[in-house]
Amino acid sequence: MYAAERQQRILEMARAASRVEVAGTAEALDVTPETIRRDLSALERRGLLRRVHGGAIPVERLEAEPTFDARLGRRTEAKRRIATRALEEIAEGATVLLDAGSTTLAIAEALPPGLALTVVTNSPAIGALLAARPSIELLQLGGRVRPTTGAAVGPWTETALAGLRVDVAFLGANGFGATTGATTPDHTEAATKSAMLRAGRTTVVVADSSKADAVQLHCFATLEEVDVLITDAELDADIAEEIRAVGPKVVLA
């Protein structure tokens, strides 16, 4: 195994398990601990891992969860393209579930005036945007609103979702990968997203390519459970093929 291949494997192991340890990784890859230490240093220089005593942690595990306002300013053009493509999944008169998030907000903003829909959302921001549209019947999900993401979550939200079956559910994700599934940092938000997944007859994950192979603490869906992944055209071709192999249709906007 070449050094680049080994380092890629170490990175995958770290993201899957949220950390790697020198001794165990050396044994798994049949190399010396010193070789693994050099690999970890190389990955740290590339900004992918952070060295800790005895091993390393993926940098995304050390970053604070970005706020909703911070997300609004990130990769706006990619999110606009994703939202435009997402409209093709919505038929006139459909029932649509929009998860809270900056990409799903972009979908709400892209909905054509006069399009007749029933929209269910746990996002007060999306609800405020759509409340004044006479062609849209809006169902606002209640629950505890997380200040970080502006998402209503918790038992109230999940109970309401348990009684719903929508035509298409659009869910955001902080990370996605063929083996790790769709992930998010907060356990209550993950539980609510799982309830949304069960409520959708067609389920669509919308997330830009910067989330590819990023792994957060809580998995709310395996990609086998997802019908469509809509992301942007910067997604690595190998990652796209790995995801297609486990089931969902991958659309690059």
Which two three-digit tokens encode residue 141? Answer: 């999900």
Q: 159 to each of 106, 165, 200, 208, how far by Cα in Å?
A: 26, 13, 15, 29
| Phi (first) and psi of residue 128, to 5 degrees | -65, -35
pLDDT surpasses 70 at 62: no
Cβ density class 9-27: b for 16+ within 10 Å, e for less: ebbbbbbeeebbbbeebbe
Split at pLDDT 50, 70, 90, the class of 45 is: confident
pLDDT surpasses 70 at 27: yes
Of the chain, the end-to-end C-alpha distance in Å amounts to 35
User: Tens digits of per-residue pLDDT, 181-190?
Assistant: 999 989 999 9
User: Tens digits of per-residue pLDDT, 176-227?
Assistant: 999 889 999 899 999 999 999 999 999 999 999 989 887 787 899 999 999 9
pLDDT of 130 reads: 98
Q: 3-class DSSP state for residue 178?
A: coil
- Greater model confidence, 52 or 239: 239
Q: What is the mean pLDDT of the chain?
A: 93
Domains and CATH numbers, the chain: 3-61 (1.10.10.10), 68-252 (3.40.50.1360)
pLDDT of 50 reads: 84
pLDDT of 64 reads: 65
- pTM value is 0.78
